[in-house]
Amino acid sequence: MHEMKLLDLFPDTVSVEGGELLLGGARATDLAREFGTPVVVYDEQTLRSQARAYLEAAPGALVAYGTKAFPSIAVSQIFAEEGLGADVSTVGELEFALRAGMPGERLVIHGNNKEDELLERSIEVGALIVLDSLDELERVRAAGGARFLVRVTPGIEADTHEAIKTAHHGSKFGLPPDDAVEAIRRAPEAEGLHVHVGSQLMHFGAALMTVDWIAQFAARLRADFDWTPRIVDLGGGLGARHVLEEPSFTVDEFVRGMVGELQRAFHLQGLPPAQLILEPGRSLVSRAGVTLYTVGNVKRASAATTYVTVDGGMSDNPRPAMYNARYTAVLANRADAEPTEAYTVAGMHCESGDVLIERVELPTPQRGDVLAVPVTGAYTLAMSSTYNAVPRPAAVLVSDGKARVIRRRETVDDLLALEQPVGGA
Ligand SMILES: *Cc1c(COP(=O)(O)O)cnc(C)c1O
């Protein structure tokens, strides 16, 4: 590989042998041939090691996988085995978690517009509901028997993309502080507080400020109502590094920082320690996933731009188009070859904005090469679409040189099966 550091972005088990990229002991080109492309390859060892990093950095905490990052029964089964719970926000995500064998008491229920069925099912299985409005408090209390937290919006601006900030003033999520106080006044049986700063956080600042804020808020509630949170849920948000130019934090650094700050801040306010819940999504699954594409047309568009076109794009990974997310790539079948020039990796969709990578240095790509894009395990398949009637890719799990399909590839027949033609033939 031209720059061995690039391998740092890949799953724990990555290696290069005889010019071939290996994931979980399997050759990427073999995986591409066997399962077709695009395909998202998940490394089991990395999934497990990320889960363990959370449990080790926050002993005794409930670590609830943010299912929306990649709803997958197999992935949630692995996390359940490791002792994790799940954070879900729809009836669909709840079903994924339950079918993976997640115990109800390890489930945390979110959503800023929870449907009745979600509340009913959540109460039935003994999950912890995170209230998102005063109106919801009344619905939950009317149903009876619910365990719940109050989600509060501290008014802190996270340094992340606008679309994934959640704790600022005017956020559509959570209760503004005065409403959260009112919720606790009405419902002192609430078990605790929840806060989620935002996603793809690449700095500690906002997260630590939030922890201090929540301790002060808890002190105010104790003073007002003699109420103290038994549970504090700090949400998710640890960012992933997608290109070498982005900063990198380990789970250990981030979580120990948060846990230490929470203990200090609660101690300072004279509050008893609370049970901690964390809800990581992206940081559990993003680096475990690598998307493999097959190179098609290679086309010089101008003196400055040569397109390498792949057999997927914004349908399997909308993040570049939605958030200007950056990625890098390697040619899996010539992983140790020197790059010749910088290329633009374009998808196959009918949009000029369907560009996966603005600029990446590669050895001259040719039709049929396999392009591997690392750090694509989170919010890719989860946000995929069938735009241009392109069926969604498969996901496979690799471990010890063996690969198993964990989500089968969608087919054009799957898409056609939903259609209801009118009249005629
Ligand atoms: C999205 C979300 C998470 C997971 O966020 P990541 O950035 O993927 O870690 C956790 N909690 C809540 C409430 C969320 O909305």
Q: For residue 130, which phi and psi values (nearest 5 degrees)?
A: -100, 110
CA of 109 to the centre of ligand 1 (A): 12
Residue intervals in the chain for CATH 2.40.37.10? 2-36+288-416
The closest-lying atom of ligand 1 relative to the alpha carbon of residue 235 is 11
SS (H, E, C) 140-167: HHHHCCCEEEEEECCCCCCCCCHHHECC
Instruction: Find out whether the beta carbon of 279 lies less than 6 Å from any atom of ligand 1.
Output: yes
The predicted-structure confidence for 100-133, as pLDDT tens digits, reads as follows: 999 999 999 999 999 999 999 999 999 999 999 9
Task: Tell me the C-alpha distance between 195 and 337, whole Å.
Answer: 47
My answer on whether omega of the bond before 391 falls inside 30° of 0, hence cis, is no
Region of poorest pLDDT, from 127-136, 166-175, 279-288, 405-414: 166-175
The predicted-structure confidence for 139-157, as pLDDT tens digits, reads as follows: 999 999 999 999 999 987 7
- 54, 70, 84, 110: which to mutate for ligand 1, most atoms within 8 A of CB? 110
Pairing relation of β-strands 15-17 and 20-23? antiparallel
CATH superfamily of 2-36+288-416: Lyase, Ornithine Decarboxylase; Chain A, domain 1 (2.40.37.10)
The predicted-structure confidence for 3-51, as pLDDT tens digits, reads as follows: 558 999 999 999 999 999 999 999 999 999 999 999 999 999 999 999 9
Rounded mean pLDDT, 52-73: 98
CA of 86 to the centre of ligand 1 (A): 11
Residue 1 has pLDDT above 50, yes or no: no
The closest-lying atom of ligand 1 relative to the alpha carbon of residue 379 is 8
CA-closest candidate to residue 221, choices 155, 269, 172 = 269
Instruction: Find out whether the beta carbon of 199 lies less than 6 Å from any atom of ligand 1.
Output: yes
Pairing relation of β-strands 231-233 and 192-194? parallel
Instruction: Find out whether the beta carbon of 68 lies less than 6 Å from any atom of ligand 1.
Output: yes
310 three-state secondary structure: strand
CA of 379 to the centre of ligand 1 (A): 11
Contact 363, 334 (CB under 8 A): yes
Residues 6+ apart with CB under 8 A from 87: 64, 65, 66, 67, 107, 108, 109, 110, 236, 279, 281
Instruction: Find out whether the beta carbon of 282 lies less than 6 Å from any atom of ligand 1.
Output: yes
**What's the Cα-to-Cα distance from 421 to each of 385, 387, 391, 411, rounded to whole Å?**
22, 19, 20, 19
CA of 264 to the centre of ligand 1 (A): 24
Name the residue with tokens 């560009």.
355
The residues annotated with a catalytic role in the active site are 350
Instruction: Find out whether the beta carbon of 280 lies less than 6 Å from any atom of ligand 1.
Output: yes
pLDDT for the residue numbered 87: 98
Quick count: other Cβ atoms within 10 Å of Cβ 61?
18
Task: Tell me the C-alpha distance between 396 and 29, whole Å.
Answer: 14
Q: For residue 90, which phi and psi values (nearest 5 degrees)?
A: -145, 165
Mean pLDDT over each residue of the chain, to the nearest integer: 95
Pairing relation of β-strands 370-374 and 107-109? unpaired
Quick count: other Cβ atoms within 10 Å of Cβ 276?
21
Rounded to an integer, what is the distance from CA 76 to the centroid of its chain? Answer: 13
Rounded mean pLDDT, 66-90: 98
The closest-lying atom of ligand 1 relative to the alpha carbon of residue 378 is 8
pLDDT for the residue numbered 165: 67
Quick count: other Cβ atoms within 10 Å of Cβ 400?
11
- For the chain, give the percent of residues with pLDDT over 70: 96
DSSP 201: B
Please tell me the residue having the least CA distance from ligand 1 atom 11.
235
Please tell me the residue having the least CA distance from ligand 1 atom 12.
235
The closest-lying atom of ligand 1 relative to the alpha carbon of residue 66 is 4
Instruction: Find out whether the beta carbon of 281 lies less than 6 Å from any atom of ligand 1.
Output: yes
The closest-lying atom of ligand 1 relative to the alpha carbon of residue 200 is 7
**Half-sphere exposure (Cβ direction) of 119: Cα atoms closer than 13 Å:** 20
Instruction: Find out whether the beta carbon of 114 lies less than 6 Å from any atom of ligand 1.
Output: no
User: Regarding the domain delimited by 44-283, which CATH topology (the fold level of the hierarchy) does it fall under?
Assistant: TIM Barrel (3.20.20)
Residue 2 has pLDDT above 70, yes or no: no
Quick count: other Cβ atoms within 10 Å of Cβ 99?
11
Residue 379 has pLDDT above 70, yes or no: yes
Q: What is the largest CA-CA distance in the chain?
A: 75
CA-closest candidate to residue 391, choices 370, 368, 418 = 418
Question: Angle 283-38-18 (CA atoms, 0-180°, nearest 5)?
Answer: 85
The continuous run of DSSP H or E covering 54 comes out as helix 44-57
Instruction: Find out whether the beta carbon of 69 lies less than 6 Å from any atom of ligand 1.
Output: yes
CA of 236 to the centre of ligand 1 (A): 5
Residue intervals in the chain for CATH 3.20.20.10? 44-283
The closest-lying atom of ligand 1 relative to the alpha carbon of residue 151 is 13
CA of 32 to the centre of ligand 1 (A): 31
- For the chain, give the percent of residues with pLDDT over 90: 89
CA of 88 to the centre of ligand 1 (A): 9
The predicted-structure confidence for 281-333, as pLDDT tens digits, reads as follows: 999 999 999 999 999 999 999 999 999 999 999 999 999 999 999 999 999 99
Task: Tell me the C-alpha distance between 155 and 292, whole Å.
Answer: 40
Q: Please report the beta strands in 166-288, taking only residues with DSSP state E, as ranges in sequence order.
A: 192-194, 231-233, 275-278
